[in-house]
Amino acid sequence: MEPDRAISRVVHAIIEAERKLPSDVFECINSAVPSGGKAESVMNAIKQNLEIASRCNLPMCQDTGVFWCLASIGRNSGVSLPLIESVINSAAAEAAEKGFLRKSVVSEPYKARKNTETNLPPFIYYELTDGDAVELSFLLKGFGSENCSSIRMLRPTEGEDGVVKAVVEMMKEAGGKPCPPVFLGVGIGGTMDRAAFLSKKAFFRESMDAELSARILSSVNELGIGPGGLGGYPTALGVSLLYEPTHIAGLPVALTVNCWAERKAVIRFERGEL
């Protein structure tokens, strides 16, 4: 495949993700049974918002997010990293322009905070995988929810109960700020930075511990923060959890919070397509 064709595929996927939720995310929203009153009104408004965005080809939220991208590269793909980087950067720039995405990136974080005026750069992570395909996973990350993401460095003796408690405490502190109902990515193990990475990668993978994910989901919903932070049910719609080995003295737990607009896109290139 010519690089231009590859870029076009990625551009289309990003713009679609800004306008339409993935089927699994949409189904979670559509099948949720709110507790009534304000909770039901907020959930109905979310569904109406999604219908308008899809019908009118508009972004579903004014915060169109930053480009977070995980490039999963097959060891036998034969594709160079510079080519992958070029496709990601070119596609992000074109999608930002064609999709009318808000310019939400500043060039340095704590002084002048000058806007880059392009919504670039994308934040790219690379990993090697088995096989010969290349997969680009984009998370279009708004910061109302990202600002509520956090990490806890637990004692190793705190175990599963400590993990649940930590996530509940982080969500209790977040309250209604991340535009609930939310989707949660949980990363456990590794180092502090690896746990944070896993918590975002979790949005693209099945949970490695369905039982613990269910405990976290139930416990977060017991907080009663509710849709829009107005009380009731649901506060969270889904939890995915990834873990990896860690040091004998540690138990890192990272939480990435996504609002109900869990915008993501996955583009897979088989060998020879990139």
| Secondary structure (DSSP) of 19-31 | HS--HHHHHHHHH
Task: Give which of 143, 154, 148 is closest to 189, Cα–Cα.
Answer: 154
Annotation: CATH topology of 144-258 = 60s Ribosomal Protein L30; Chain: A; (3.30.1330)
Residue-level pLDDT at 62? 95
Residue-level pLDDT at 1? 62
d(CA 191, CA 193): 5
* Sequence-distant (≥ 6) Cβ neighbours of residue 35 within 8 angstroms: 226, 232, 233
Evaluate if residue 76 carries a pLDDT over 70.
Answer: yes
Evaluate if residue 86 carries a pLDDT over 70.
Answer: yes
Average per-residue pLDDT for the chain: 97
What is the pTM assigned to this prediction?
0.95
Q: Which residues pair with 136 in a beta bridge?
A: 71, 267
- Residue 157 is classified by DSSP as G
For residue 2, name the pLDDT band (cuts at 50, 70, 90).
Answer: confident
CA atoms within 13 A on the CB side of 190: 18
Residue-level pLDDT at 261? 97
Residue-level pLDDT at 3? 83
d(CA 93, CA 119): 8
What does the pLDDT average to over 43-58?
Answer: 97
Residue-level pLDDT at 272? 87
| Residue ranges covered by each domain of the chain | 3-20+60-142+263-269, 144-258
Write the pLDDT tens digit of every residue in 88-134. Answer: 999 999 999 999 999 999 999 999 999 999 999 999 999 999 999 99
Q: Which residues pair with 135 in a beta bridge?
A: 72, 268
Write the pLDDT tens digit of every residue in 157-168. Answer: 999 999 999 999
Tokens 């070029």 appear where? 86
Task: Tell me which amino acid residue 261 is.
Answer: A
- Taking domain 3-20+60-142+263-269, whether its CATH number is 2.60.120 is answered by no
Residue-level pLDDT at 43? 98
Q: Is 58 left (phi over 0), alpha (psi -120 to 50) or beta?
A: beta
What does the pLDDT average to over 246-271?
Answer: 97
Write the pLDDT tens digit of every residue in 195-239. Answer: 999 999 999 999 999 999 999 999 999 999 999 999 999 999 999
66-74 and 134-141 strand pairing: antiparallel
Are 136 and 88 in contact by the 8 Å Cβ rule? The answer is: yes
- Residue 57 is classified by DSSP as T
Distance of CA 161 to the CA centre of its chain: 25
Q: Give φ, ψ of 249 to 5 degrees.
A: -100, 5
Name the percent of the chain lying above pLDDT 90.
97
Q: Is 231 left (phi over 0), alpha (psi -120 to 50) or beta?
A: left
